[in-house]
Amino acid sequence: MMDEGYFVPVAELKRMETETLEGRWVRLQHFDGTQREVWVVDQEVAWPEGRLIVSRTDPEGIITHANHTFVEMSGYDREELMGSTHAILRHPDMPKEVFAEMWQTLLQGRNWLGYLKNLRKDGRYYWVKATVMPNIRDGELKGYTSVRKRPSRDKVREYEVLYQQYRDAAVS
């Protein structure tokens, strides 16, 4: 007979998996009105030297390809990323205006360049200098591609201040 204390409910397992580092749960409000609780740890993860993070999506923004560095840096399994949108990486410190501007640019058929603070599955974060491109062939949108590089520390400091100002303006 199985020992009673042996059985751990799935929700508890998920919590144990997530809360391995010291952090806090934060409510994240998505653009489509949905909300979710994310685990946030105030700890940055270093970029692997000389590597790029690359991903592709379908026209709806659903991830169809992720390179090894994307999987490694996000902390998710490849299976968890495929079929999800990039909102899985959304950090609560990121102002929504940044993504509104990104999508406005992409929907005009133009490339977007910017700085993003991304949330890992374990709650830690990493900054990226991202280029996001619409893939248009024969006048038709086939999807999107993003290539991210390691940003300079000066740019990270600059955008930390800027995004803090956005957040302050949002609550006041």
Ligand X SMILES: Cc1cc2nc3c(=O)[nH]c(=O)nc-3n(C[C@H](O)[C@H](O)[C@H](O)COP(=O)(O)O)c2cc1C
Q: How far is the CB of 101 from ligand X (least distance, A)?
A: 11
Residue closer to ligand X (CB basis): 5 or 115:
115
Take residue 65 and report the two structure tokens written for it. Answer: 């390809």
Rounded CA-CA distance 35/150 in Å is: 29
Could you tell me if 74 and 87 are in contact, meaning their C-beta atoms sit under 8 angstroms apart? no
Residue the block writes with tokens 């006041």 = 172
Q: How far is the CB of 91 from ligand X (least distance, A)?
A: 7
Q: Which residues bind ligand X (CB under 6 A)?
A: 30-31, 57, 61, 85-87, 89-90, 94, 99, 116, 118, 130, 132, 144, 146
CA-derived radius of gyration, the chain: 18
Could you tell me if 86 and 56 are in contact, meaning their C-beta atoms sit under 8 angstroms apart? no
Residue closer to ligand X (CB basis): 16 or 82:
82
Residue closer to ligand X (CB basis): 18 or 135:
135
Rounded CA-CA distance 113/115 in Å is: 7
Could you tell me if 20 and 122 are in contact, meaning their C-beta atoms sit under 8 angstroms apart? yes
Residue closer to ligand X (CB basis): 12 or 64:
64
Q: Which residues contact 169 (CB under 8 A, 6 or more apart)?
A: none
Could you tell me if 96 and 31 are in contact, meaning their C-beta atoms sit under 8 angstroms apart? yes
Tell me which residue has its CB nearest to ligand X.
Answer: 31
Q: How far is the CB of 130 from ligand X (least distance, A)?
A: 6
Q: How far is the CB of 97 from ligand X (least distance, A)?
A: 11
Residue closer to ligand X (CB basis): 29 or 43:
29
Q: How far is the CB of 6 from ligand X (least distance, A)?
A: 39
